[in-house]
Structures are given as C-alpha cells and as structure tokens.
Amino acid sequence: MDQPKDFERFGIDPKKVEPWEDGRRDSDEGMHNEVWYFDALFDDQHKFMVGFRPKNPKKLMLKGDSPNLNIMITTPDGETKDDFLYYTSEESRERKI
C-alpha cells in the first residue's frame, strides 16, 4: 500500500490529508469497529504505540460505542508498559473540520 496505483485506487493524495479522510467511516453496529493507530521508534530505541478505537474490543458484539485508547511503551531493554483507557460516548466527541 505504498505505490502510486494504491493511492489512486482509494482516491488518496499521498502528500495531503483531505477533510473527508478525518473521521469515522463505519457504524456503531455490533461487529463493526475501527482502529486509528500510530507507532514510533525513537533514536534512543524506545518504542511508542497508541491505538484509538470507538469500541472496546470486549464489547465488539454490542451496538453502541465504548471509546478507548491503548498506550504501549517499550524500553530499549525490552520492558513493556501498557494501559487501556476507557471513556463514555459523552466524554468523546467528533471534531468537525
């Protein structure tokens, strides 16, 4: 998914994020979920990952949202620290561009 034809197939400009690309594309029906994911490897070899989800993976079968995020940090010696943070739908909101 890094060739010009890949971007063209999805109508995506690889050099610019368009407003239509920002936001949820799926519903809150059971068995529907999305994950927005970011990870990084720092110069000092620490690793960082964060994943945002509109549904708690344990509630995937249910209709409705249960927003959460998962944070994971791995030290250069391999020690991993991670946590899930859970929110209500009221505590999260969509930001319009």
Q: Is residue 96 part of a domain?
A: no
Q: Is residue 80 part of a domain?
A: yes
For the chain, the farthest-separated pair of C-alpha atoms sits apart, in whole angstroms, at: 42
Res. 97: pLDDT tops 70: no
Distance CA 16, CA 26 (A): 22
pLDDT tens readout for residues 48-89: 999 999 998 889 999 999 999 999 999 999 999 999 999 988
Q: Is residue 51 part of a domain?
A: yes
User: What's the CA angle centered on 72, arms 7 and 75, to 5 degrees?
Assistant: 110
Chain centroid to CA 55: 11
Q: Is residue 97 part of a domain?
A: no
Q: For the whole model, what pTM was predicted?
A: 0.67
What's the total number of domains in the chain?
1
* Domain housing 54: 4-91
